[in-house]
Structure 1
């Protein structure tokens, strides 16, 4: 079966190696992976900023490029939430687009949800050294119900997890929130970094690159040069 991989802007521009780890995992589960070369943004920044026209244009573009596939996998809770939850709002006044979206929506999965509930992948021990803690990104957790899936995969892979205090609390990124409300964002991410360090884990693992960049940036600015910040695909693919 063919999986369309929606790479996401941040992975494409900032951490392309994560995209290759995602492909490795999906292919290991027995699926053909296709990465449409013309894909761009899911429209979330425009949607969150109130620019519905641009958000809808991008949503229509995504729909055209991905509706042909058996499944669509998104290695980001925030982009997955945008496609899986908010496109319905953008298309609500267009019956034809809404019908097409209705056929696409059940095929869209966040990466770990896909690996657990569709691919039913079986991972052996990876030999990953050390303990990790897991950060539950807001959109993946609250919009897509991603909570048990990444932990189940880490357990399969023999990766020890030490849960941090407030693992479900926001990291303070929130897209443009971090720009508009910098002081509040900084206070939130400082609390997150303190909880990561208090867990005793040598790495924090997560499934959303926005959170990843925000947490890693703040850890480094605060002088922590040793705590690793990893996308779960990197860990599960053996690339960490």
Structure 2
């Protein structure tokens, strides 16, 4: 992963909310908007947006992934950053969208331009907006101990574990506890969990056991697919582990004030 140069603070951004947040955890998307707006940024949400195409791409269907991407290339026409509250979806858009089209084509050029403007939410908050999460008061908040989960794609392609660690460690009254299997996949892997349910189930069971062994009862992540997988598996097993999207966790821990 190459180091990137960050732009000056913008006045406007686009939000690519991801299909999972749109369908299953809309509050995380709303909280992401509120975090950005609190910093004085105007958030634009193109309503025709859909999926990033990762399910098709990771299943070996780049042509179908290209059609998903092509349908959205024109939605982000202004030269504003595109903020994604999911490291894996951001990684798909930033690193793989340009490869889906014939080199030298107009679509490849548009995908390349767009990819350079894609930022995962926490990366954008700390590297571009320079938000000081340690400056928020914690007087009305009870102390919390949490574990962090970063999806494989987010960790590998966007380096978002670094940003997640930075913002959580800065929060007053919050202690982040590392666990033995933090770097391991939760077993979701998009269609992997459908094609290999037994292996996926064993992986998420290991993840939950490792998180619970810390004594923490809350797992925070910036990737909705992992959250749904871990949260549902924990509930099914009766494990004392709640899950929360990092955007909602940050909004809650910083008082939620505009």
Question: Which of the five TM-score ranges fits, normalised by the shorter chain?
Answer: over 0.9
Q: How far apart, in 2, do the equivalents of 1:27 and 1:230 lie?
A: 21
Q: Deviations over 1:159-178 (max 9, x none)?
A: 21111112111000001000
- Equivalent-residue separation in structure 2 for 1:130 and 1:112 (angstroms): 20
CA-to-partner distance for each residue in 1:81-131, whole Å, 9 max, x for gaps? 110111121024343222222222221001111111111112214425321
- Aligned residue for 1:24? 34
Aligned residue number for residue 4 of structure 2: none
Runs of 4+ with >3 A deviation: none
Q: How does 1:212-227 map to 2 (within 5 A)?
A: 212-224=227-239, 226-227=240-241
2:216 to 201, 204, 207: 201
Partner SS, residue 147 of structure 1: helix
In angstroms, what is the RMSD of aligned CA positions? Answer: 1.6
Q: Hey, what does 1:65 align to over in structure 2?
A: 75
1:13 is matched with: 23
TM-score normalised to structure 2 length: 0.88
Does the 8 Å contact 2:98/2:109 carry over to 1?
Answer: no
1:160 aligns with 2:150: no
SS of alignment partner, residue 40 of structure 1: coil
d(CA) in 2 for partners of 1:131, 1:18 = 20
- When normalised by structure 1's length, the TM-score is 0.94
Q: What stretches of structure 2 of length at least 5 have no aligned partner?
A: 1-10
Aligned with residue 148 of structure 1, among 120, 139, 162: 162
For residues 122-166 of structure 1, give each alpha carbon's deviation from its aligned partner in whole angstroms, at most 9, with x where no partner exists. Answer: 221442532101112111100111122111111222221111112
- Structure 2 equivalent of residue 237 of structure 1: 251
Q: How many residues align structurally?
A: 239
